[in-house]
Structure 1
Amino acid sequence: MPALSPALQRLRADHAPALLAFERENRAYFAASVPDRGDEYFARFDDRHAALLAEQATGLCHFHVLVDEDGRVLGRVNLVDAAGGSAELGYRIAENAAGRGLATAAVRAVCASAAVEYGLRELRASTTADNAASQAVLVRTGFTATDEVVLDGRPGIAFVRRL
């Protein structure tokens, strides 16, 4: 993966405490633009983390965390449902790290890894129609809007990027 400061790292077991802190600290911030993960997610976080690592080991998903020099998670960038040379991209950046270009840099790095390390040829992404910041990240990183979609009952936009 290309070097990035903060560092983009493939998800590991030892990321669990910092990742849980990231999700808790940013829960309300994320819920403003994406559906809330729900209390069960936090109550069963260790089981969920282990399940993600097991899923990643199959090659069907590739999970990444953006980690600062103190080991705090500042963001996540994930590739899920990898099959047939394609995967779905998802990402979230901490509220206190937003607006610094970290999402753009992290998405660019994962796009490079998707092609070189994971053998993918295409990435898909979607965002709600009112999430201009996420749309800007996708456009800056080479994604093209393809369709209008509905995301949990809200209007959204689907994007695609050929690698």
Structure 2
Amino acid sequence: MLSTGGNEVDEAVASAVALLRPAVDRNWAEVKAGPVDWSCRKTAEHIVIDLVIYASRLAGRTESAYVPLNISLDSTYSGAPTDDKDINEGILEVITATGALLTAAIRTAPRDARAFHPAPYRSANREGFAAMGIAEVLLHAHDMADGLGLLPYEPPAHLAEFVLTRIFPSVRPGPDHWQTLLWAAGRADLPGRARPTRWHWTNNLVLDTERLRLEGVTPAAAADLSAGGTGGFDWIEGGPFEGTRDAAGMVAKAYQAGVHRPEFGLYVLVRREDDRAVGGMGFHGAPDEDGKAEVGYDLAEQARGNGYATEALRALAGWALARDDVRSLFATVEPHNTPSQAVITRVGFTPVSEEGEVGEDGLRAYELRG
């Protein structure tokens, strides 16, 4: 069963606090935090701010970029400690407390909960917020440890893997998940790879229709689906169908090879009325040099005959053909599969060859141009 990330947030916070505690007697306000342009004190404050904002957005299902919060670590109030050790111990307690807030928001959020996050698709689900919180804690604890002379630091590898497989879907995994995450965030070198100079999280894309949500499948969910799991979705009886599991396997292989383009991967079709998954739809890969991309889909048998495939394909085709890098969509259908032929015809696909003619693979080809 896929984790939603609450336990991992707790573990990441505990790991970071244990790392930093040996340096609580230092003046964190006067020590630069490794590669960032902040002091260790300012970096710790940044961790706290992100944990609070992520928790509040997810708990409140915030849809706006504007969150009227003003958060700071205040050591000027009456009776505040003046000793560096007491101040820094208090900071670690605040990091622990705000980490617990994010964990609580993750554990109580329903599966379909989403809230605002800017990059790149304007929202994230509970796993996305967990991954972002873990990344903020681990990466900035590493920055502080760098400045305080506490390196090397090796957090549990599965925490870095959680982050990579949720919000770095285009990054080819390496044998060391932590070093790969440090590289992806511009903090370390990896043999044979140029260090990135710009980077951001990539939460999964979701496309809405009247009755459905097309939810982009992360590498973590794809691996689970291809191995016989649910991918974190609540499927109707008979789902996921064989084609969805095969497509998930394609996504998992592309991710391992470092060629996965998440927006041109697999989407699970989820009914909005009851949050039940009914099928899968997506691309066989990114568009080629001519701007052509191939699409495929299937539904669980109990979901067929309701127009779900037509509704979802219209949305996916409209999204794809509105892009500059897609000029046409391509699909192949078995000659005897008249329901599938009806779906793509309703969406506007037309036969590539003469009526009744099939290719060498025994399939009929259809195309939809932008």
Normalised by the length of structure 2, the TM-score is 0.34
2:261 equivalent to 1:58: yes
Q: Distance in 2 between matches of 1:59 and 1:100?
A: 28
Aligned residue identity for 2:316: V
Q: Distance in 1 between matches of 2:260 and 2:324?
A: 12
Structure 1's 118 and 7: CA in aligned 2 closer, same or farther, altered over 3 A?
Answer: farther
Structure 1's 99 and 53: CA in aligned 2 closer, same or farther, altered over 3 A?
Answer: farther
Partner residue in 1 for 2:367: 160
8 Å CA contact 1:60–1:80 kept in 2: the answer is: no
Instruction: Choose between structure 1 and 2: higher helix proportion.
Output: 2
Aligned residue identity for 2:271: D
Instruction: Tell me the secondary structure at the aligned position of residue 317 of structure 2.
Output: helix
Cα offsets for 1:24-59 (capped at 9, x unmatched): 9358x76xxx8xx7xxx6xxx8x7664355667436
Question: Where do residues 74-93 of structure 1 align in structure 2 (5 Å cutoff)?
Answer: 74-81=278-285, 82-84=287-289, 85-93=291-299
Which has more radius of gyration? 2
1:72 aligned residue (276, 282, 295): 276
8 Å CA contact 2:239–2:278 kept in 1: the answer is: no
Q: Distance in 1 between matches of 2:314 and 2:305?
A: 16
Cα offsets for 1:43-80 (capped at 9, x unmatched): xx8x7664355667436832211013444321111112
2:309 equivalent to 1:103: yes
Instruction: Report how far residue 94 of structure 1 moved.
Output: 1.0
Q: Distance in 2 between matches of 1:133 and 1:150?
A: 22
Q: Distance in 2 between matches of 1:51 and 1:4?
A: 32
Q: Distance in 2 between matches of 1:4 and 1:57?
A: 29
Question: Where do residues 109-124 of structure 1 align in structure 2 (5 Å cutoff)?
Answer: 109-117=315-323, 119-124=325-330
Aligned residue identity for 1:149: G
2:338 equivalent to 1:132: yes
Cα offsets for 1:86-119 (capped at 9, x unmatched): 1111010110100000000011011011123573
8 Å CA contact 1:4–1:106 kept in 2: the answer is: no
Aligned residue identity for 2:349: F
Structure 1's 3 and 60: CA in aligned 2 closer, same or farther, altered over 3 A?
Answer: closer
Instruction: Choose between structure 1 and 2: higher strand proportion.
Output: 1
Instruction: Report how far residue 159 of structure 1 moved.
Output: 0.5
Q: Distance in 2 between matches of 1:75 and 1:25?
A: 10
Q: Distance in 2 between matches of 1:93 and 1:52?
A: 23
8 Å CA contact 1:146–1:160 kept in 2: the answer is: yes
Structure 1's 59 and 11: CA in aligned 2 closer, same or farther, altered over 3 A?
Answer: closer
Instruction: Tell me the secondary structure at the aligned position of residue 340 of structure 2.
Output: helix
Partner residue in 1 for 2:238: 25
Identity %: 27
Normalised by the length of structure 1, the TM-score is 0.71
8 Å CA contact 2:251–2:266 kept in 1: the answer is: no
Structure 1's 101 and 14: CA in aligned 2 closer, same or farther, altered over 3 A?
Answer: same
Structure 1's 117 and 66: CA in aligned 2 closer, same or farther, altered over 3 A?
Answer: farther
1:149 aligned residue (359, 363, 369): 359
Q: Which has the bigger relative contact order, CA under 8 A and spacing at least 6?
A: 1
Q: Distance in 2 between matches of 1:98 and 1:106?
A: 13
Structure 1 spans left out of the alignment, 5+ residues: none
8 Å CA contact 1:11–1:53 kept in 2: the answer is: no
2:215 equivalent to 1:9: yes
Root mean square deviation of aligned Cα: 3.4
